[in-house]
Amino acid sequence: MHNVVVITTGGTISTKRTPQWSGAVPMLKGDDFSAMLPRGEFNVSFQDFTNLPSSHITPTMALDLAQRVNSQLLGEADGVVVTHGTDTLEESAFLCDLLIDSNKPVIFTGSMRIATDIGYDGVTNLTGAIRAAASPQTRGLGVMVAFNDRLFSAATVQKIDSQTVDAFDAPGFGPIGSLTGATVRIHHQPSGRHYIPCSRLAERVDLIYATQGADDRQLRAAIDTNSQGIVIAAFGGGRVPPWWLPTIQEALNKRIPVVVTTRCLKGICYDEYGYVGEYHDLKRLGVMFAQQLSPVKARIKLMVALGAAAHPQELRDWFAE
């Protein structure tokens, strides 16, 4: 029987309503989850990392979480499951994917309904995640997310629905596997994983969305407050308002790295236009492109890469197209 360690962090999966609070709050811990699981199927141990809504979790906390996960993988655990709030689950999972270099599976999961709701999906998702972590099928696939009987790569998964139990998908990529009862099936292998050895993060990285008619105040604020890096969620295939270009150039001149990705749900940065502010203008300025990463994941990757890079070229290599 495989040894699986479950690390709990809070989130909706751990919340319940009580008379003492006006709404549901994280309360359940490892012992509570253990009592809900099927008996005799797993050799599972639980560790409580924290008990917070994921809107309260910071990248630095996620770094500590990655180090805790890695310490378990270096021990006797055959796989690790992390329970996590869904709001920032994709960010924590991707940060762990960048920082952990192991063939052993790491599976994030959570729930959309609280433990005192009818139709609570926490037990189903947790059971599926443990089965995935114990399966030889998931070895060597990096960090994954198990949700609603589907498995996703941490690099491509996104929360796409704020309410339903089918809250996660991977636009443009789809799930890498499925969970049917006790059977784990892998449909395709994730590609293009990057391992970045890192023990600290650059925390002051700003994410700025290009919006119709927006001026450059957010870019200017990032420069003036000594941002360590800027991520731009650009229009379409990598375009920005033309009046942003001088400010982006100023940031680069001040050695503030600028990374560009698309604000679209899928697709890459590339176009063949010749007007001002298009992809080739940004490329000529010297920005880096986070191809096939959502804006929030591009920010996480830049935070990690800046924390690890010994020199500018090493940083650029991690964003090479």
Catalytic residue among 8, 9, 83, 86: 86
Spatial distance between the Cα atoms of 85 and 49, rounded to a whole number of angstroms? 13
Annotated active-site residue 86? The verdict is: yes
Closest CA to 266 of 159, 171, 168: 171
Residues 143 and 194 sit within 8 Å (Cβ to Cβ): no
Residue 320 vs residues 128, 204, 209, 290, 316: alpha-carbon distances, Å: 35, 22, 22, 8, 6
Catalytic residue among 9, 12, 109, 262: 12
Give me the sign of the Cα torsion angle 33, 66, 91, 25: positive
Annotated active-site residue 116? The verdict is: no
Closest CA to 289 of 274, 304, 270: 270
Closest CA to 287 of 256, 311, 310: 256
161 is in an annotated binding site: no
87 is in an annotated binding site: yes
86 is in an annotated binding site: yes
Catalytic residues: 12, 86
Summarize the annotated binding site as residue ranges. Answer: 54, 86-87
- What residues are designated binding site for substrate? 54, 86-87
